[in-house]
Amino acid sequence: MGILFSGISLAGYAKKDAKMDIVDTAVSAGSFKTLVTAIEAAGLVETLKGKGPFTVFAPTDDAFAKLPAGTVEALLQDKEKLTAVLTYHLVPGKVMAKDVAGMKSAKTVQGSSLRIDTSDGVMVDGAKVIKTDVMASNGLIHVIDTVVLPE
């Protein structure tokens, strides 16, 4: 199965990323400013810099921009809801793209499961996976084009 990715530049991660944790990898990418701000506001920096491993389905800044006006600001003011949304994007363990391709769902740290559809590329709760297997020292990131919300 071939998956096409566009719009995200994570060039240069092949060697340096394995030395950086998930948070530092996201910061250095430059396209996850909103996600990193949310991680800080929720108090999850220490966790995501921890041992892990973690798999993060990480929405880009463009993904956050698709949310209705005021949504991000409201989430940043509601730590409990923000934490629920962020941990819904977080799967315990290291789940590589080849593993995701064979899954129908993935249990999140938040407690619910993400629905995975591989019939046309890889979709996670309706979000398109646009870059896979961005390695970090304590897990990996799969980049998604939409913020997914727990039900």
The answer to whether position 9 is within a domain reads no
Q: How far apart are CA 79 and CA 54, in angstroms?
A: 21
Element (H, E) at 135: strand 127-136
Map residue 115 onto helix, strand or coil: strand
Share of the chain above pLDDT 90, in %: 83
Q: Please give the Cα distance from 30 to 8 (Å, whole number).
A: 10
pLDDT confidence band for 17 (50 / 70 / 90):
very low
- Residue at 108 is within a domain: yes
User: Is 137 among the domain residues?
Assistant: yes
**Is residue 66 domain-resident?**
yes
Q: What is the pLDDT of residue 106?
A: 96
CATH number of the domain at 86, please. Answer: 2.30.180.10
Within a domain: 7: no
Residue 7 clears pLDDT 50, i.e. is over it: no
In a domain, 5, yes or no: no
Q: Structural domain of residue 139, as residue ranges?
A: 15-144
**Alpha-carbon distances, residue 146 vs 29, 110, 149 (angstroms):** 17, 18, 10
Stretch 91-112: mean pLDDT: 94
Predicted confidence (pLDDT) at residue 90 exceeds the cutoff of 90: yes
What is the number of structural domains in the chain?
1
pLDDT at 18: 61
Indicate whether 4 pLDDT > 90: no
2 is a domain residue: no
CB under 8 Å to 68, separation ≥6 — which residues?
A: none
The structure's pTM equals 0.87
Distance CA(144)–CA(28), nearest Å, equals 17
In a domain, 6, yes or no: no
pLDDT range class, residue 101, cuts 50, 70, 90: confident
